[in-house]
Amino acid sequence: MKKLFYITIGLGLFIAFSCKKSTPAATPTPAPTSIGNLSVDGVAISNLSHSSFVNGSNFGVIAYNSSGSNPELQVTFSGTVTPSYGTYPITTGTVSYGKCTLTYSDTGATSPSTASAGYVNVATSGTAPNNTLSFSNISVVGGAGHHILTGTITY
């Protein structure tokens, strides 16, 4: 009788553990497959890459041709965190709260070209790399020449 009791308990435990449900692992949110697009004078820049950074009290996003690092676009916002959702007027000089600066540089340029007017739109969607900034027909003038920039960068 004692043997039958142990066999029944052992068989019950075996069945209980062999029928354990497996819990699927959480699926991570995939990163965007594209970081966006950038065109200079209507010509698309290929092999686009990007990075974001904090420099002192400013947050910046850089987009560039990853095969040669040029041309390069930099948008800088006041603050040390990703800018919040909204429309940011482009300004020149030192960037201040609620505004941004936009500069463009290219190979061989003695200095960057800067925008002095226009707007950059920021859309936030959680945390990086799910935020975007976009701009259209922004004129830049300076050492890198006069160009018209349009783009959407996911960072």
Residue-level pLDDT at 69: 59
* Closest of 130, 78, 138 to residue 114, by C-alpha: 138
Q: Specify the pLDDT at position 108.
A: 77
Residue 98's CB is within 10 A of a number of other CB atoms, namely: 15
- What six digits make up the tokens of 122? 């920021």
User: What is the CB neighbour count within 10 angstroms for residue 8?
Assistant: 10
How confident is the model over 128-148, as pLDDT tens digits? 667 899 999 999 999 999 999
**Mean pLDDT over all residues of the chain?**
81
Query: pTM for the complete prediction?
Result: 0.76
Compute the distance between CA of residue 46 and CA of residue 78 in angstroms, rounded to an integer: 29
So what's the pLDDT on residue 36? 87
Distances, alpha carbon 144 to alpha carbons 51, 141, 151, in Å: 21, 7, 18
pLDDT of residue 153: 93
pLDDT in tens, 81-125: 989 999 999 999 999 999 999 999 988 788 999 999 999 999 987
DSSP result, 103-154 = EEE-TT-SS-EEE-S-EEEEE--SSTTS-EEEEEEEEEEETT--EEEEEEEE
Half-sphere exposure of 71 (CA within 13 A, CB side): 26
Place of tokens 């960068």: 153
Assess whether pLDDT exceeds 70 at residue 126: no
**pLDDT tens for each residue of 21-80:** 343 333 333 334 468 899 999 999 988 888 899 999 999 999 988 876 589 999 999 999
